Structures are given as structure tokens and as C-alpha cells.
Amino acid sequence: MKLELRGITKRFGPLVANDHIDLVVEPGQVHALLGENGAGKSTLMNVLFGLYKADEGEILVDDEAVAFKGPGDALAAGIGMVHQHFMLVPVFTVAENVMLGHEPTRGGGLLDLDAARRTVRELSDRFGFGLDPDAVVEDLPVGVQQRVEIVKALVRDAKVLILDEPTAVLTPQETDELIAIMRELKAQGTSIVFITHKLREVKAVADVITVIRRGAVVGSASPDAAETELAAMMVGRAVSLGVDKSPAQPGEETFQVEHLTVRDANGIAVVDDVSFSVARGEILAVAGVQGNGQTELSEAVVGLLPATGSIRLEGRELVGLSPHEILDAGVGFVPEDRTVDGLVLDFTVAENLVLDLHDRKPYARGIALDLGAIRKNARERIAEYDIRTQGPGQEVGRLSGGNQQKVVMARELSRPLKVFVASQPTRGVDVGSIEFLHKRIVAERDHGTPVVIVSTELDEVAALADRIAVMYRGKIVGIVPADTPRAVLGLMMAGAGAEEAHEQATETELDQLADEHTHETGAQQ
């Protein structure tokens, strides 16, 4: 099926979210829609899916103009959409979710669950999804839930599948699996519109790339274009993807973690006897696949989780202190999920910028807030961190992800720190902001602060780290220098010790030349 958008324009009041956008999706093609957060990609897809009515322009299916009044029409025309936030009933099984809305019935209006199970199994086998029709959705990992969404679309004979930021919620492994699935779908004739702002994925899977900036198409590119070129198109200026930083000049080791153990509610050690230390003026990146204890490690440092062992900051023991005391001791903390743990979304930018300092001078006198000082601080931080906002009084929830993250960073970095701990400091942040945030982190390092970055993105780890600690199942499997090859890091993230990983990685390279067989076993380990 050929899908064409012609001159689509969508306005919201004075704002033009889509400005005469043209787009052609050929059958059996993966068409990537690349753009920063807020560039208008999702609006365009919501127009296509019938959720919005375009102010101008038309949609053509196989060269015939169509008018979608709602998602129902789009589905009927063979367009399926997988939203970034899944539309699944958590307590239903996979089969129940898939049949929801068009349940197959036997005589007497009885649900025909077997038919639904069969459909799920068929599709799952055909595309290699590995879905169990009877699994309950809430028990499934995010990546698998996403496949359920894809099956939901396929069941309705979707010829064009829209994937809206599908990798935002996935781990690197799940992303790889999704890319494989996209290739398989394509091979079987389904067209895919792939919305993303991640360059690596686009290059991996797209046939055609259309770049959107500020609501308009700025051009298209072929997948073999350089990442920097794509980034420049997306952002509208040259962006450096790496971080310019001078070599670390480690000073005294002032932040030491020894034999730290964190147990979850079931008594299982999620952080298991972890020891490391970080020097002033050094960035230690904690790498690892999501869910290997990094989050818990960072939360234990700020006292949000009870821990045993020792965390010493300039000789002072932090284990057992309250988060308040730990922040007072000079720990800056950027939590993994800004909207859940970092910001009060319906507070203003100004209020969020003093969330941790609101009861201290100069922001408070006794128990009275000094609103003037709070506003002044906000203006300074907004200027310093280039936070794009209407003003200090705007609600933080109305900012884009990148600007929200800048608010969190500005808050944490704006007081004197003795150690800075940031978890996923640039997750879900657009390219332009990533560059900025990375610079600030390096600046803090150069200021002589020990820095700990927890990240599941190897790009970020590689860009920032002076040393890399790799975590696997709650343990640190090794601490390696920043120039460690990706292959070695990858093996360590799968549980291999540093030396072992080095050996395997070199072996693999050598054997690759000599013997295919050894290569396979090497990779399997």
C-alpha cells in the first residue's frame, strides 16, 4: 500500500505545528521521521491516524484521497499505530488484549479465546515475536509489551505501521530486537513509519529518512549519511556528538563506596557488595543493562534506599543518614526519571529550582519564603542553563523534556557540591540539549568535583567517562579505562569479568578471521 501525505498543515491557535508537510511512504519501506522533541512528528502522525483533523492538505492511500474521521477509519484503511505509551490492559492476557475491541465470538455471544490465541500464535511465529498468548501483560517486560501492540495492529491487517518513538522505553537489547522485528515486517511487505530522534537507530533500519524541524520538512537523507550531518539537519546547526573534554586530572579520592549492599523487599541483594571510589576531577560512569542495580546504587547513595556497607564523602559516613542530611553533606543528585522523581510538575520553574533549598537562606527567612530571591535565582539559572521557558512562573510540566532536565541539572549543580551523582542524565532529551548537559557535567568535573554518571547508553558512557564501572546483577564486574572497546564493554555488561572480556573480545577478532565456529561459541558465552 502506498501512503502519501500532501501539504498537511495543522495549526493550534497561532502555532503552526505542521507546515505543508509532504511525505510518501512506498510499500515495503521503512520510512524514518527524524526530528527533535517537539518538531511536529507526533502531530503529523496523529493527523494521519485520524486523531486530529488537518487544517490543510490531504492524505492519499494508493493515490486516492481519503478522509479519516477517527482512528477507526485509519485502521480500516490499513494504518496501524503503536503509541509511545502503550494502550494495553495490564491485567489482561496477551490474547485478550489483542482481541479487545473486535472480539471473536462463538454462538451465543461467547468469547472465542481459542481463536484469539491461535491468531496471536500465528502472527508471533510468522514474525518471530515469541509471544505467549496466555501471559498476563503486566508481567511482561516493556519490549514484549510493545510487540503485543504491534500484533494488535497486525491483527487488523495493517499495511502501514506507525511506530511512535518505539525505542524510548527500550533497553539497548530490546532495541536491537525491535530493529530485527522491523526488518522482518518489512521483508513481509509491511511499510513502517518510524518516528524517532535517535540517529543510530535510523541509520540501522531506515530506507528513507525525512527530517522535520519546527513543523516543516527540512529535507530527506539516505541512511548512509553521517550522524553529524543528520544531527545538524535536525537541530538546524552543527552539533558535536562527542564531548570536548580535556583528560581528567584526578585529585584526591574523596568519594568512597565500600561493600555497599542494597536489598529489595524480598531480601534479594539488588546491589551486591559494591566497592569503588571516585577522585576529585574525575567522572566515573556506571554502565550496564537497565535493571542490574545501577538505579538502586544511585538511590542508596542519597539515602532513598536502606543500605549496608559504607559510603564515605570526604571522610564522612553517609550510610544511615536521611536524604536531607545527605544533600546537606554536599551530594548533588539527578534522579533517573525526572517527571517521577526529579520535578514537581505543577510547580513553577522557580519553585522547582529551589525544591531542595527552599528552607534555607537566601530563599527563606525563618519560615517565610523570600519570593524575590527565589525569582532572582530562577532568572539566573534560566539564563545560565538556557532553559527555554516563558518565565520563572511557568509550570515545569509544560516544558519539553530537555528543558525539564535542564531544570533538574540547574538545581543540583547550583549549590556547592562535594560529589555529583546523575542517573541517566540525558534520557529522552533531544540532541541539542544533550550536548549542553554533557558540557555542564564535564564543567563540574573540571571544577574539582567527583562525578558519578549512571547510564545505560554506551554512547553517553563513552562520551563522558574517565573510568567505566560495569554492573551486572548487582555487582561491579570490573572498572576499566574509558578507552575500553565497545565489544569488551558489551561482554562485561553480559557478566564477563574485565580480563575475561578482553580475552574473549580479542579472541573473537582473531578467530573471526580463522574460524567461524569459534566465533559463534565466543559470542554465545
Partner 1 sequence: MSQPDEPGAPRTPEPGPAEPGSEVVAPEPGADLTGRGPSQPAPQPESGEARASRALRDIATGSFGVTVLAFVLALVIGAVLIIFTTDSVTSTLSYFFSKPGDFFSAAWEAVRDSYVAMFRGAVINDRGWSFTTVFKPLTETMTVATPLIIAALGVAVAFRAGLFNIGAQGQVILGATFAGYIGFTWHLPVVVHVIVAIVGGILGGAIWASIAGVLRARTGAHEVIVTIMLNYVALYLLAYLLTTRFFTQAGSNQPKSPAVGPNANLPLLLGDQFRLNAGFLVAILASVFVWWLMTRSTWGFRFRAVGSNPNASRNAGIGVATTFIAVMAVSGALAGLAGAVQVLGTEKSLTGGIAGSLGFDAITVALLGRSKPLGIFFAGLLYAALDVGGRAMEAATGTPIDLVLVIQSLVVLFIAAPPLVRAIFRLPAPRTEAKGAQA
Using rule CB under 8 A, residue 51 touches partner 1: yes
**Of 102, 259, 324, 486, the one binding partner 1 by CB under 8 A:** 324
Instruction: Kindly state the smallest distance separating residue 42's Cβ from partner 1, in Å.
Output: 4
- Closest listed residue to residue 349, CA positions, set 296, 320, 386, 324: 386
Residues 461 and 424: their CA atoms lie apart, in Å, by 10
Q: Residues touching partner 1: how many (CB under 8 A)?
A: 103
Report if residue 191 touches partner 1, rule: CB under 8 A: no
* Among 61, 283, 302, 419, contact with partner 1 (rule: CB under 8 A): 302
How is the beta sheet containing 269-279 ordered, strand by strand? 269-279, 253-263, 307-313, 316-317
- Residue 217-256 contact track with partner 1, rule CB under 8 A, x = bound: -------------------x--------------------
Shortest distance (Å) from residue 107 CB to partner 1: 33
Q: Alpha-carbon distance 355 to 353, whole Å?
A: 6
**Binding residue for partner 1 (CB under 8 A) from 428, 450, 478, 522?**
428
Task: Report in angstroms the alpha-carbon separations of 174 from 260, 430, 484.
Answer: 29, 21, 23
Interface with partner 1 in residues 73-132 (CB under 8 A): 83-86, 90
Q: Which of 1, 16, 204, 243 contacts partner 1 by CB under 8 A?
A: 16
Please report whether residue 427 would count as binding partner 1 according to CB under 8 A.
Answer: yes
Question: If binding is defined by CB under 8 A, does position 140 make contact with partner 1?
Answer: yes
C-alpha distances in Å from residue 396, one per residue of 372, 392, 411: 19, 9, 13
Does 332 bind partner 1 (CB under 8 A)? Our answer is: no
Helix (H, G, I), strand (E, B) or coil at 190: coil
Per-residue CA distances from 394 to 387, 428, 456 (Å)? 11, 21, 31
Q: Which of residues 430-459 bind partner 1 (CB under 8 A)?
A: 430
Out of 398, 418, 447, 519, name the contact with partner 1 by CB under 8 A.
398
Q: Tell me which of 238, 247, 266, 483 binds partner 1, using CB under 8 A.
A: 266
Closest C-alpha to 501, from 510, 492, 509, 512: 492
Provide, rounded to whole angstroms, the least separation between the CB of residue 188 and partner 1.
26
CB 331 within 8 A of CB 313: yes
Answer for which of 133, 293, 392, 522 binds partner 1 (CB under 8 A) is: 293
- Of 222, 240, 249, 322, the one binding partner 1 by CB under 8 A: 322
Q: Find the binder of partner 1 among 66, 135, 169, 494 (CB under 8 A).
A: 169
Q: What is the DSSP letter of 247?
A: P
The grid coordinates of residue 354 equal 529551589
Closest CA to 407 of 378, 376, 428: 378
